[in-house]
Chain A
Amino acid sequence: MNTIEQCSYMTHGAVMPFCKGCGHSNILKKLNDALGLLQIDPHDVCLVTDIGCIGLADALFDKVHTVHTTHGRSTGFATGIAVADKVLASGKLKTIVLIGDGGSMIGLLHIVNAALMNVDVTVIVANNFLFGMTGGQTSSLTPEHFNTITSPFGSMNPSLDICSIADASKAGFIARKTATDKDLTETISNAIAFNGFSIVEVLELCTEHGTKRNDIKGNMLVKMAEEEGHTVGQIKNSDSRAEFSKKYHTDVHAHKGEIKALKYINPAYEHTLKFPKEIIISGSAGERVQSTAAMFAEAALMCGLEVTQKNDNPVTQGSGFSLSEVIISPGEINFTGVSSADFVVAVSENGLKEIKAQDIFNRINEKTIFIIDESLNIEKKGLNIITLPLRRLCGGDKAAIGAVDYILMHYDILDHNAFKLLLEKRFGTYDKIFKEEFYKL
């Protein structure tokens, strides 16, 4: 423990690269002190710094891990580091983000999500109300009427209350302090020690750009924040939510058995196919078109055939048409598109419409067999159309299954028993799946 006690996390004799009077120097010193207070092994600390003046901090901390990131994204990288550490590694790492007011708005989503996840990350927002490094431009945390070089008549918008955002994101530890607060070390150390997401916004002055354009001193920061309607001090400190990895382990442990391992298919059936067969099945969403195609594909696989299956549906998925293209072949299938269908099935108006829309009449041959429900009408001459009472005898939800079953009953493609077996697994005794009349078709 000796080495840790003596350890200063910051480089001995480090020269702060900040302007005279800048609050950043103070924040970093307090961060160093806070780590000392907690006596954390430096190898268990990762400082993730954002872009901007506060992002220069990584060069000052030569004992701890430092990760200097892209603008606003620091909390995102920190989330990945913290989750990986807590779930997959030592679980001892304390991940601390140093971000400015500018970066906190670009990366707001990362902060919100880290808070929602309740990952063990501490975000310190060094808020000097403007973008300092780039010349003093307005940020989303600039108070209304505050002058910057891009708001010479005073900022037009009120400032974002990032602590309220954190609160709305269910963060457990929220504090808004000023850089000169005597208890800043304690607040930061409490935030780091907090097992879950914590955020400390530190109000401070940019002496290069902030004080020159505004009549403001350090002792006015609290009043300024309060005038904006922002609460100052310790806003929340509640560990009522479980830290992310704890919840993850509990949830995964509780549900592990629900995920089924992949089962291989036993090719126990026969086929007599010499050439590929192509089939298109169409109907309406929710009518088991794609699962029918999948069962047909599985039956083919059970017969030792090669298979491809492509599904198509509108982006809303649960409405309109549903269409599947299946190719089965005794040899390797390369091109996965149906170019000359052997069978085209349409069990509903939606399906038939899509057959027309996708110009499938140009992807058939003179032998193509159309299996359509009796409710449908294809006004095209010279086609081999078989009209069946599929919806009536099988129901809308099994009309596509009925159509495929009919094909396998009447045409020698693959062993019907393979398909039957799959039907029985899903719907019970084969003879009872459809109305009696169906089996006589």
Chain B
Amino acid sequence: MNTETKKLALRSGNQMTAEGAIKAGCKFFAGYPITPASGIYKGLIDLLPLNNGIAISSPDEISALAYCVGASMRGVKAMTATSGPGWALMIETVQYALITETPVVISVVQRLGPCTGGATQGAQGDILITEFATSGGYTIPVIYPSTAKECYEMTIEAFNWAEKYRTPVVLLSDKEIGMTTESVDYSKLKISATVHRHLISENDADFNNWKMYGFDSPEMIAKFAPVGSKVKVTATGSAHNTKGSLKKNDPETLAVLKHLEEKIQAYRDEMVLVKEDHEEGSDNLLISFGITARTMKDSVKKIRKQGKKISSLTIFSMFPVPDKAILKAAEGCKNIFIAEENFSGQYRMIIEPLLKNYNVLGINKLGAMITPDEITERIMNL
């Protein structure tokens, strides 16, 4: 056994999220305790001071995100972490980040809902409330890792997206991923290069044409001006024109509101993080994400062992929906199973319209992890 290059440690998803944030260049964290997300808070309280950053405790989740958005407006990468009940409180402020095009990462470690639900019980029930948290129905990019290792890697990705597209990004997770400790080989981490938002300077050639929220094409993302720099910031959470001036019933303002969505749509094809396990000639495709994607892997092995062909698709980039990747994986199949730990089939509702020509079936459970046998039996008995 070659152990020379291995760098092993026992880490939880939450710890790896905290470490990934440091690698991504996060300098500011504000936290409020909530099971099962508190590990990220603790992780960054320990790590940030050692990495030229700061982590502070906030008196509630509304403050936590407001502090982060404020810090990001000052020009630093910022993050907070919460679970469903805290996310509910943050929804006003995440919309503020969205309309002011302020990069920020919010880790939502899901637990059983609704309301305070079950603090120490896992669930995948916050998919819809995470995504559809804005008036107007804007796309909040959502990334959902399924292992501690991926928590590290995809936290970097979440920061990169936030910085590049000037948007809030949700790093979705769940109790089982966040709080379960597992072996991680640090030498095997796939670390993306970190991205930092483009800043405007008064010396830039494009300075005279620069506007806080300016764009001349859907894919254009205005350079960022930090509060306190030599470029005056005009930020507002109200409907505004490209300069940031409050205007109503103004075509330019409406164009800015549309651009908030158009810029994400313009990049949706590069915002794809999926893993396909294709089996030639399979009628069946199994789709999952997060903790259930791990179960899915075991089920696929069992199903194949029992002589049935099966393909699978793990989705990490939940939103924008990786539609082309889903359709490509579905090609040639008849039945599409979507396994998720909620009773209503939240992601199934989202992708079902894409899959009109297929027999779409949900595998769902409430209050406990779906087991490999449960998925296997369901598919074998079709």
* Interface-located stretch among B123-131, B349-357, B366-374: B366-374
Contact with A along B191-223 (1 / 0, CB 8 A): 000000000000000000000000000000000
| Given A88-B54, A301-B10: A93 and B73 interface contact (C-beta under 8 Å) | no
* Interface-located stretch among B224-232, B272-280, B326-334: B224-232
Q: Are B70 and A76 in contact (CB under 8 A)?
A: yes
| A267 CB–B CB distance under 8 Å | yes
| Given A79-B70, A304-B3: A334 and B297 interface contact (C-beta under 8 Å) | yes
| Given A68-B235, A113-B63: A87 and B54 interface contact (C-beta under 8 Å) | yes
| B347 CB–A CB distance under 8 Å | no
| B295 CB–A CB distance under 8 Å | yes
| B181 CB–A CB distance under 8 Å | yes
Partner of A309, one of B62, B182, B186, B229: B182
Q: Are B49 and A256 in contact (CB under 8 A)?
A: yes
A213–B30 Cα distance when bound, in Å, is: 44
| Given A59-B245, A85-B74: A69 and B182 interface contact (C-beta under 8 Å) | no
Partner of B234, one of A66, A298, A310, A333: A66
| A406 CB–B CB distance under 8 Å | no
The residues of B that contact A312 with a CB separation of less than 8 Å are 120
The residues of A that contact B46 with a CB separation of less than 8 Å are 259
Min CB–CB distance A69 → chain B (angstroms): 6
The residues of A that contact B382 with a CB separation of less than 8 Å are none
| Given A73-B92, A93-B227, A336-B180: A84 and B63 interface contact (C-beta under 8 Å) | no
| B81 CB–A CB distance under 8 Å | no
Min CB–CB distance A143 → chain B (angstroms): 28
B104 and chain A: residue at smallest CB distance: A80
| B237 CB–A CB distance under 8 Å | yes
Partner of A68, one of B68, B72, B74, B238: B238
A326–B291 Cα distance when bound, in Å, is: 17
| Given A65-B228, A89-B74: A80 and B68 interface contact (C-beta under 8 Å) | yes
A36-57 CB contacts (< 8 Å) to partner B: 42-44, 46
A339–B335 Cα distance when bound, in Å, is: 28
B106-141 CB contacts (< 8 Å) to partner A: 119-120
The residues of B that contact A84 with a CB separation of less than 8 Å are 27-28, 54, 70-72, 74-76, 78
| B161 CB–A CB distance under 8 Å | no
Q: Are A334 and B294 in contact (CB under 8 A)?
A: yes
| A149 CB–B CB distance under 8 Å | no
The residues of A that contact B9 with a CB separation of less than 8 Å are 262-265, 301
Q: Are A259 and B70 in contact (CB under 8 A)?
A: no
Min CB–CB distance B381 → chain A (angstroms): 19
| A401 CB–B CB distance under 8 Å | no
The residues of A that contact B181 with a CB separation of less than 8 Å are 294, 297, 307-310
| B58 CB–A CB distance under 8 Å | yes
Contact with B along A295-335 (1 / 0, CB 8 A): 00110110011111111110100000000000000000111
The residues of A that contact B71 with a CB separation of less than 8 Å are 80-81, 83-84, 88
The residues of A that contact B229 with a CB separation of less than 8 Å are 43
A92 and chain B: residue at smallest CB distance: B228
Assign chain B's interface to a size class: 35 or more
| B53 CB–A CB distance under 8 Å | yes
| A78 CB–B CB distance under 8 Å | yes
| A389 CB–B CB distance under 8 Å | no
Q: Are B78 and A80 in contact (CB under 8 A)?
A: yes
A69–B56 Cα distance when bound, in Å, is: 21
| A90 CB–B CB distance under 8 Å | yes
| B7 CB–A CB distance under 8 Å | yes
B234 and chain A: residue at smallest CB distance: A66
B217-271 CB contacts (< 8 Å) to partner A: 226-230, 232-238, 245-246
The residues of A that contact B235 with a CB separation of less than 8 Å are 66-68
The residues of A that contact B236 with a CB separation of less than 8 Å are 58, 66-68
B1-47 CB contacts (< 8 Å) to partner A: 1, 3, 6-10, 19, 27-28, 30, 35, 46-47
| A337 CB–B CB distance under 8 Å | yes
The residues of A that contact B49 with a CB separation of less than 8 Å are 252, 256, 259
Q: Are A81 and B369 in contact (CB under 8 A)?
A: no
A131–B195 Cα distance when bound, in Å, is: 44
| A112 CB–B CB distance under 8 Å | yes
Q: Are B73 and A81 in contact (CB under 8 A)?
A: yes
Q: Are B74 and A80 in contact (CB under 8 A)?
A: yes
Partner of B27, one of A88, A93, A256, A311: A88
A308–B298 Cα distance when bound, in Å, is: 15
A294–B179 Cα distance when bound, in Å, is: 13
| A18 CB–B CB distance under 8 Å | no
The residues of B that contact A157 with a CB separation of less than 8 Å are none
Q: Are B237 and A68 in contact (CB under 8 A)?
A: yes
| A434 CB–B CB distance under 8 Å | no
Of listed B47, B56, B228, residue having the most chain A CB within 10 A: B228
| B69 CB–A CB distance under 8 Å | yes
| A63 CB–B CB distance under 8 Å | yes
The residues of B that contact A70 with a CB separation of less than 8 Å are 92-93, 96, 237
Q: Are A336 and B227 in contact (CB under 8 A)?
A: no
B8 and chain A: residue at smallest CB distance: A265
| Given A79-B67, A336-B182, A337-B369: A43 and B228 interface contact (C-beta under 8 Å) | yes
The residues of B that contact A267 with a CB separation of less than 8 Å are 1, 3, 6, 8
A259–B47 Cα distance when bound, in Å, is: 8
Partner of B73, one of A77, A92, A113: A77
| A176 CB–B CB distance under 8 Å | no
Contact with B along A332-349 (1 / 0, CB 8 A): 011111010000000000
Of listed A73, A263, A307, residue having the most chain B CB within 10 A: A73
Partner of B59, one of A89, A113, A256, A309: A113
| A209 CB–B CB distance under 8 Å | no
Min CB–CB distance B36 → chain A (angstroms): 11
The residues of A that contact B226 with a CB separation of less than 8 Å are 89
| Given A68-B235, A92-B228: A79 and B59 interface contact (C-beta under 8 Å) | no
| A110 CB–B CB distance under 8 Å | yes
9 A-B residue pairings within 8 Å (CB atoms): A44-B228, A68-B237, A69-B66, A93-B74, A259-B50, A265-B8, A307-B10, A335-B369, A336-B176
Closest 5 CB pairs of A and B: A80-B70, A76-B66, A80-B67, A84-B74, A84-B71
| Additional A-B contacts beyond A109-B63, A315-B35 (14; CB < 8 A) | A44-B228, A46-B227, A80-B72, A81-B227, A81-B228, A88-B76, A109-B59, A113-B63, A301-B183, A307-B181, A310-B180, A334-B295, A336-B176, A336-B182
Residues of A within 8 A of B (CB): 42-44, 46, 58-59, 62-70, 73, 76-85, 87-90, 92-93, 109-110, 112-113, 117, 248, 252, 256, 259, 261-268, 294, 297-298, 300-301, 304-313, 315, 333-337, 339
Residues of B within 8 A of A (CB): 1, 3, 6-10, 19, 27-28, 30, 35, 46-47, 49-50, 52-54, 56, 58-60, 62-63, 66-76, 78, 92-93, 96, 119-120, 176, 179-183, 186, 226-230, 232-238, 245-246, 291, 294-295, 297-298, 369, 371-373
